[in-house]
A and B are shown apart, each in its own frame.
Chain A
Amino acid sequence: MASDTPLLDELEKGPWPSFVKEIKRSAGKSPKAKDLLGVVEQSYKDKITHWKHGGIVGVTGYGGGVIGRYTDIPEKFPNAEQMHTIRVNHPSGWFYTTKALRTVCDIWEKHGSGLTNMHGSTGDIILLGTDTDQLQPAFNTLTENGFDLGGSGSALRTPSGCVGPARCEWACIDSPHLIYDLTQTFQDELHRPRWPYKFKIKASACPNDCVAAIARADFTIIGTWRDSIRIDQAAVKEYASKGLDIENLIVARCPGQALEYDAKAQKLSVKPQDCLRCMHCISKMTKAIRPGKETGATILIGGKAPILRGAFLSWVLVPFIKVEPPYTEIKELLEKIWDWWDEHGRNRERIAETIGRLGLKDFLKAVDLKPIPQMVYHPRSNPFVFF
């Protein structure tokens, strides 16, 4: 018998784990997963999507968390007619017990297709594909078991952070705890869209930025330190004796030219005032160099994708801030930012675009920050200065 999905079947070949295999395995249990394969095969044939525009569904009390989706070929694949996605807030750092995962799986097999994304790029557990009448029961069971929905729409989206001190020796802040705390504090902002557009928070515990906070969050928290890196000279010697080319691979590549290496004595030294905390030497000599002791974070603002006015990486707003529970300073800053943006932002204008339109000067005044050199890469080159 010829296969119903000849194009997708090709993607079961090759060494990488195949999503087609996964969906087929679910298709045995779930008619929704089976019809999803049909819709996807049709899209592979036609080279266009077969999902209709938009979709507004939800659960009582929340304005977001569920993304409605309908296929435009329901006559062929009736089980995929409604294919809504539920975003479920993940635990900080994506640490699970099997018990927690089994709970989610049981709920989702009962109320949905059994298909998931682990995880959506914002961080949520994504439950893929269910019907409108299953949303409320699924939500009720999830919350009874301690899970809540994530964010969607013009709201605070699910904050996420790197694993931090849970298992990384470079963590300068407790990113999982900070993310958890912010998520709990701003539940209302997360579940009930009220702003001009979406707003994302991400926290990385060091400048390696393992959650790409600088590129994928409007409000970026990146761990750093303000004293000196700590060098263990005995470990440096060991790296040298094992043949690491410290001179060329570490010292010559230091962007701040802050390192000096005495090859004879096998001694590495640093000029802390020139160190840009780029993490290169630390990442290369993990056993010999550590971040400083006086840790905190840099706060940056404005990261976003291209639409409408071009892509932005977040830029520096606060060069150094202590990050300690209950994180009052960070929360107050966030609230000031939201107040200003909500008041002045146009419909569907990200914070970076609002700042770009109205000027950094007004924004800084509104959030009670003084302009400082660290906020800019270089001073303006034109003379059109407003007084």
Chain B
Amino acid sequence: MASINLHGNSYEVDEDGFLQEPDKWTEDVAKAMAEMEGITDLNETHWKVMNYLRDYFKQNGIAPMVRKLTKDTGVNLKEMYELFPQGPANSACKWAGLPKPTGCV
């Protein structure tokens, strides 16, 4: 199992870089993950999307569908890919500390 190190703390991640213990998520974790994908400063909209994902996951136990995400955050898909290079599932959910999307991807 791989891990990322941050300020002396170690976080377990799977091969794809998804956090294995979602409870340990902090904003610094998100920043570190974003940096690995080349995004160095997270803006307000980044946080809006990630906070929405975290809240939705907390309430429903699953990640929202893409349409729901774009509708509720007001961030359309094009902007979403500008903010999160590999899109809502690969990047946004990962940075927000949600479990890895599954199924026929």
Contact = CB atoms under 8 A, between A and B. Distances in A.
A338 to B, nearest CB: 11
B77 A153 contact: no
Interface stretch (B3-11, B24-32, B50-58, B85-93): B85-93
Contact of A63 (B62, B65, B89): B89
Interface secondary structure of A, over-half rule: loop
Interface stretch (A48-56, A112-120, A246-254, A277-285): A48-56
B44 interface: no
B101 interface: yes
Given A57-B16, A61-B81, A153-B105, A194 B67 contact: yes
A194 B66 contact: yes
B15 A64 contact: no
A193 B66 contact: yes
Contacts of B104: 152-153, 198
B65 A58 contact: no
Interface in A140-193: 152-154, 188, 192-193
Interface in B22-71: 37, 62, 65-67, 70
A343 B67 CA distance: 8
Interface in B79-102: 81, 85-90, 94, 100-102
Given A56-B105, A348-B103, A63 B67 contact: no
A330 interface: no
Given A54-B102, A56-B101, A67-B105, A193 B67 contact: no
Contacts of B70: 194
A196 B65 CA distance: 7
B102 to A, nearest CB: 5
Interface string A32-72: 00000000000000000000111111111111100110100
Given A56-B18, A61-B81, A192 B101 contact: no
Contacts of B102: 53-54
A120 to B, nearest CB: 13
Nearest to A193: B66
B65 A193 contact: no
B62 A62 contact: no
Given A56-B100, A70-B15, A194-B67, A62 B77 contact: no
Closest CB pairs A-B (n = 4):
A63-B87, A60-B85, A58-B86, A194-B66
Interface of B: 15-16, 18, 37, 62, 65-67, 70, 77, 81, 85-90, 94, 100-105
Interface of A: 52-64, 67-68, 70, 82, 132, 152-154, 188, 192-196, 198, 342-343, 347-348
26 contacts: A52-B15, A53-B102, A54-B105, A55-B16, A56-B100, A56-B101, A57-B90, A58-B86, A58-B87, A59-B86, A60-B85, A60-B86, A61-B81, A61-B85, A62-B86, A63-B81, A63-B87, A64-B105, A68-B16, A82-B15, A132-B15, A152-B105, A153-B104, A194-B66, A194-B67, A194-B77
Given A59-B86, A194-B67, 16 more contacts: A53-B102, A54-B102, A55-B105, A56-B89, A56-B105, A58-B86, A62-B86, A67-B105, A70-B15, A152-B104, A153-B89, A154-B66, A193-B66, A193-B89, A198-B104, A343-B67
